[in-house]
Amino acid sequence: MTLVDVTHGKGSTEGVVTITLADEANRNALSAALVDELVEALDETDADPEVRVVVLTNRGRVFCAGADLSERSRSRNHVGDSSVKPVDPALLFSRFRASSKVYVGRIAGHCVAGGMGLAAAMDLAVVVEDAKFGFTEVRRGVAPAMISVLCLPKMRPTDAAEAMLLGNRMTGADAARLGLVNRAVATEELDTVVESFVADLLAGGPLALAATKQLLNRVPDMEISEAFAWTADLSAALFRSDEAKEGMRAFLEKRPPSWSV
């Protein structure tokens, strides 16, 4: 059974790939099998120079229920059993930040625990406002450990403390208010907003988008002198690129650049 579907866009969405979590029966929990298929899909999209934007979404009422607790339980109870493969979510979560592609989360369902980390790993994310979110780990006797690496930089410390220590459920609208996602919208508006994000991204140059991802991910962790030196080098390299020359020519000639669809 296929747990992850991959669809390539055509026409106006050429260069866009949609990856769909499709393990409805298991609430798209991060089982070893689903993670393997998802990482394989990421490998393919990252290696394809024609792919510029990746939309990650879900089938069913749950975007991602976090870790597969039944699988984790079997792993603990069968020490040394090679048939029970442990999952390292860090290998998955770190992929999105390292990729040159822009990832857009189309979160059309509930999202809890490790699913919150998956949502926060997106470069941009739109959620349905009435979906249930939550850092529920403390209610299971564990902590939101690895996903805190992704979520804490997006949240105020007081908000993070309340959400993670209390373990209460929240709505998609709350998740947007806390900065974990970009927008929370009514279900009937979800596709319109996601399509708007994708269209705007396709209007940007591929190298420019990749460079901007680097800025967003690296500059906040740099000392100011290091940041100015690194960004100066990056800016100079971009201005020398064929993409920048085409972009400036297109602007002066009042026409769309070659990469615009």
Q: Where are the domains of the chain?
A: 4-202, 206-252
φ, ψ of residue 48 in degrees (nearest 5):
-95, 110
Distance between CA 131 and CA 61 in Å, rounded?
Answer: 9
Query: If one looks up domain 206-252 in CATH, what number appears?
Result: 1.10.12
Q: Are the CB atoms for 134 and 113 separated by under 8 Å? A: yes
Distance between CA 16 and CA 8 in Å, rounded?
Answer: 6
112 bridge partner residues: 134
pTM, full prediction: 0.92
CATH class of domain segment(s) 4-202: alpha beta
Is the Cα dihedral 144, 146, 147, 152 positive or negative? positive
**What Cα–Cα distance (Å) separates residue 184 from each residue in 129, 151, 192, 259?**
5, 17, 12, 30
Each residue's pLDDT expressed in tens, for the chain with a length of 261 residues: 799 999 999 888 899 999 999 999 999 999 999 999 999 999 999 999 999 999 999 999 999 999 887 776 665 555 555 555 666 777 889 899 999 999 999 999 999 999 999 999 999 999 999 999 999 999 999 999 999 999 999 999 999 999 999 999 999 999 999 999 999 999 999 999 999 999 999 999 999 999 999 999 999 999 999 999 999 999 999 999 999 999 999 999 999 999 985
Q: Of 137, 188, 189, 226, which residue is the catalytic one?
A: 137
Same fold flag, 4-202 and 206-252? no
Q: Which helix (H) or strand (E) holds 68?
A: none
Is 137 catalytic? The answer is: yes
